Amino acid sequence: MTLNECCALAQDMTRIPITVLQTSTDCMLFCTQYQFHPLQEYLLPHIMKLFLEGLSENETVCVTDPFHIKTLFFRIGSVPLVLGPFCTEFYSLNDCESLLRQIELKNFSPEELAAHRGKIPVAPKSNQQHIIHCLFRAMETPIPEDFREINYDKKNVRTIFQDVDSTVPYAELVAQRYALEAALMTAVENGNVVKALESWNELHNSVAFLKRLGQTLESARVSAAITRTVIRIGAMHAGIPPIVNDRLSSASASIIWDAHTIDEINQEHERLIREYCQTIRRKKTTSYSNLTISALYYLEHSYARAVTVQNMATELDVSPNHLISLFKKEVGITPLAYLNRIRMQHAAHSLAHSRAPIHEIAESVGIMDANYFVKRFKAEFQDTPSQYRAKYFQ
């Protein structure tokens, strides 16, 4: 029998997948099929490839992921294979809830975990080791002598990546990180949000997690600070005004400081990249001066507060008359008219998507007088707030 025939027979008997991972396509398909949460980072194709390159012909490696799902990796000759995934225990909904609490994962429900684990076969690990030994005998290949376990959870942060690290020269990892940071910086400088997000994801997945899977909020915040610096430099090269650059970066730093999960930090990365790229595209596609771009940013992020031209001019270190004159010349309306437009757009969105009282919506966009708000809204949309909500509420 061929190796593939032996694997197919064993799989039919045990109902547990046995997959040949001989090509990059094999790895990609396997990872895509079985990764259901980002914590299972050993199921990223490029990480899997590095791990398999370091897999010895004389060992079987059992990987247990944070959800207590197991896979067994081994080689028959030069061909890498994986048996699994499988579980060794049935988990009730309460078990799933307890596990998620143990690993401090709050954005994944016990029902979701139970549903995913319910699709995975349950069998003793010893049975699977026996199947592997049978495969080696059928292929007349020496049975591997070494059995290695890699377990990672909150208490044990030994990870597959620590083993991978030893097979990749440190200089190569550094060079890879610098190249990815340069790609992110260039994409941000060009205002290319698609390329910037691709570069960030590649940087995030390919390098940061080669160090360890048990990432903490503290290390994630440090990583975020480094990424912000890269993005800020790209924006500086694009000619973004320093005050806008500083405000964008500082606002993001505050959000990340208040984040309660690593997922929240990662979401903030994406939001920051999108906002930077949007700001840079505006500069590249308009003839706005740095002062006008700074004023636009100020108005778009301060609309919920009491705003005066004097306060804005003081913040931007120019005279009110110069600010009004230049803004109107470049944008076509005065700063206060633009502020009113922004306020009404946000109010319209709230009216169409919430049942909040009209006076609360008025206050949320910086207008304390409800009657004045109704007047300004009707001038902008030709409908009162109540009429607008009746037409567009979803």
Q: For 211-240, what is each residue's pLDDT tens digit?
A: 443 456 766 777 788 889 899 999 999 999
Same domain assignment for residues 21 and 137: yes
Examine the domain organization and report whether 269 and 205 are in the same domain.
yes
The answer on 256 and 342 residing in a single domain is no
Question: Which ranges in 190-286 belong to alpha helices (H)?
Answer: 193-203, 209-211, 217-237, 242-258, 262-285
Residues 276 and 296 in one domain: no
The residue with greater pLDDT, 160 or 149, is 149
- The answer to whether the predicted template modeling score (pTM) of the entire model surpasses 0.85 is no
Picking from 285, 320, 349, the residue at the C-terminal end of a domain is 285
Smallest CA-to-CA distance from 281 within 328, 335, 234 is with 234
CATH number at residue 308: 1.10.10.60
What pLDDT does residue 174 have?
63
3 state SS of 241: coil
pLDDT of residue 212: 40
Q: Provide mean pLDDT across the span 284-313.
A: 92
Question: In this model, does residue 295 exceed pLDDT 70?
Answer: yes
Strand partners, 122: 87
| 191 and 303 in a common domain | no
Rounded CA-CA distance 376/373 in Å is 5
* CA dihedral of 339, 344, 350, 352, whole degrees rounded to 10: -150
Mean residue pLDDT of the chain comes to 85
Of 114, 144, 165, the residue that ends a domain is: 165
Q: Does the pLDDT of residue 163 top 50, yes or no?
A: no
Q: Do 76 and 148 lie in a common domain?
A: yes
| Structural domains counted in the chain | 3
Choose one of 119, 138, 165: the last residue of a domain: 165
> For residue 380, what are the domain limits?
290-392
Is the per-residue pLDDT at 171 higher than 80? Answer: no
Q: Do 345 and 253 belong together in one domain?
A: no
Distance of CA 131 to the CA centre of its chain: 38
Q: Examine the pLDDT at 338 and tell me if it is beyond 90.
A: yes
Mark whether 64 and 130 lie in a shared domain.
yes
What is the mean pLDDT of the segment spanning 50-77? 88
| pLDDT reported for residue 208 | 45
Mean pLDDT for the stretch of residues 35-58: 82
Q: Is the pLDDT of residue 170 over 90?
A: no
